[in-house]
C-alpha cells in the first residue's frame, strides 16, 4: 500500500478505539509468541533468566512474573513502553491489553508485524494499581533495558509515551514537546522517535493524527539508515 493510501487508512481508523488490521475484519491480535532464536541469542536468553528472578526493587514482591519483552532478537525496530499492567503481568508479555491491540495496528499501518520488532518496557515488573514507576524502580531496572538495546542493536527505537521517552532520553520535557523530533540513544547513536502511548491514544483519539506523523518520521529515518 502506498503512503497516501496508508495515511487514508490510518485516518479512517481514527476515532475508533480498536483499529483493524489491513487484511482482516477481526481486531488485531496482540498475542504474539516469542520467535525462536537458536544460535545467536545466548546473552539475551541469559539476561531473560536473570531478569526473571530479579529482586532489585520492591516490585518483585507483587509480581506474578517479569515481563522481559517479546519479538525478534534481531529486530531492526525496538519499541519501548512504560511497564507491565495487570494483563501483561498475568501473561508475561508486553502490550497484550487494549493498548496492545492499538500498538499492533499502529505497527501494521507501517507494515510491521509484532514478531519482526522487539517490544520491551522501562520496567519489567508491574507497579501496583498502574501507578507511575518511581525513580528508584527505574534506576533498578535501567541496566536490563540498556543491555537489551545493546544486544539487539536496533536501527531505530520508538519510545511510547512520557515515561519511556523521559527515562530513555534523560529528559524532563513534556511528551507533547518531545514528539516530532529525532533523538539519539547511546554510543551507537541509535535514532529514537518519541510518540504518544497507545493507552493515551485510546483516551484521546484525536492525537492519532500526530502519532501517524511520528510513525512517518520513524519510517523516513529508518530508510535513511538501511
Binding stretches for ligand URA (CB under 6 A): 81-85, 88, 94-95, 99, 121, 199
Question: Taking a C-beta distance cutoff of 8 angstroms, is the pair 207, 173 a contact?
Answer: no
Report, in Å, the least distance between residue 120 CB and ligand URA.
Answer: 8
| Cβ closest to ligand URA, residue 25 vs residue 33 | 33
Report, in Å, the least distance between residue 162 CB and ligand URA.
Answer: 10
| Cβ closest to ligand URA, residue 6 vs residue 94 | 94
What are the DSSP E strand ranges found in 47-146? 70-71, 77-81, 118-121
Report, in Å, the least distance between residue 158 CB and ligand URA.
Answer: 12
Report, in Å, the least distance between residue 40 CB and ligand URA.
Answer: 25
Report, in Å, the least distance between residue 126 CB and ligand URA.
Answer: 9
| Cβ closest to ligand URA, residue 6 vs residue 138 | 138
Cα separations in angstroms, 166 against 120, 159, 178, 201: 15, 9, 9, 18
User: Which cell goes with 142?
Assistant: 535501567
Could you give the CA distance from residue 77 to residue 204 in angstroms, rounded to a whole number? 25
Could you give the CA distance from residue 55 to residue 3 in angstroms, rounded to a whole number? 46
| Cβ closest to ligand URA, residue 6 vs residue 145 | 145
Helix, strand, coil in percent for the chain, rounding step 5 = 45, 10, 40
Question: Taking a C-beta distance cutoff of 8 angstroms, is the pair 179, 195 a contact?
Answer: yes
Place of cell 497507545: 198
User: Which cell goes with 172?
Assistant: 524532563
Report, in Å, the least distance between residue 194 CB and ligand URA.
Answer: 14
DSSP 76: S
| Cβ closest to ligand URA, residue 13 vs residue 102 | 102
| Cβ closest to ligand URA, residue 41 vs residue 70 | 70
| Chain position whose Cβ is nearest to ligand URA | 81
Amino acid at each position: 500500500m502506498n503512503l497516501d493510501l496508508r495515511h487514508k487508512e490510518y485516518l479512517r481508523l481514527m476515532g475508533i478505539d480498536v483499529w483493524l488490521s489491513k487484511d482482516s475484519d477481526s481486531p488485531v491480535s496482540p498475542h504474539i509468541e516469542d520467535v525462536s532464536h537458536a544460535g545467536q541469542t545466548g546473552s539475551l536468553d541469559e539476561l531473560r533468566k536473570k531478569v526473571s528472578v530479579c529482586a532489585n526493587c520492591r516490585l518483585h514482591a507483587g509480581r506474578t512474573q517479569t515481563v522481559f519483552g517479546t519479538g525478534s532478537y534481531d529486530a531492526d525496530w525496538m519499541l519501548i513502553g512504560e511497564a507491565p499492567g495487570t494483563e501483561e503481568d498475568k501473561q508475561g508479555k508486553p502490550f497484550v491489553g487494549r493498548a496492545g491491540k492499538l500498538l499492533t495496528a499502529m505497527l501494521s499501518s507501517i507494515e510491521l508485524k509484532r514478531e519482526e520488532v522487539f517490544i520491551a518496557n522501562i520496567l519489567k515488573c508491574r507497579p501496583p494499581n498502574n501507578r507511575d514507576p518511581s525513580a528508584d524502580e527505574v534506576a533498578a531496572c535501567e541496566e536490563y533495558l540498556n543491555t537489551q538495546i545493546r544486544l539487539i542493536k536496533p536501527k531505530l527505537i520508538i519510545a511510547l509515551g512520557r515515561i519511556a521517552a523521559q527515562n530513555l532520553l534523560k529528559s524532563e520535557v513534556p511528551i507533547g514537546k518531545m514528539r516530532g523530533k529525532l533523538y539519539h540513544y547511546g554510543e551507537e547513536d541509535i535514532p529514537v522517535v518519541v510518540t504518544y502511548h497507545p493507552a493515551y491514544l485510546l483516551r484521546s483519539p484525536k492525537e492519532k493524527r500526530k502519532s501517524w506523523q511520528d510513525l512517518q518520521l520513524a519510517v523516513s529515518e529508518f530508510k535513511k539508515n538501511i
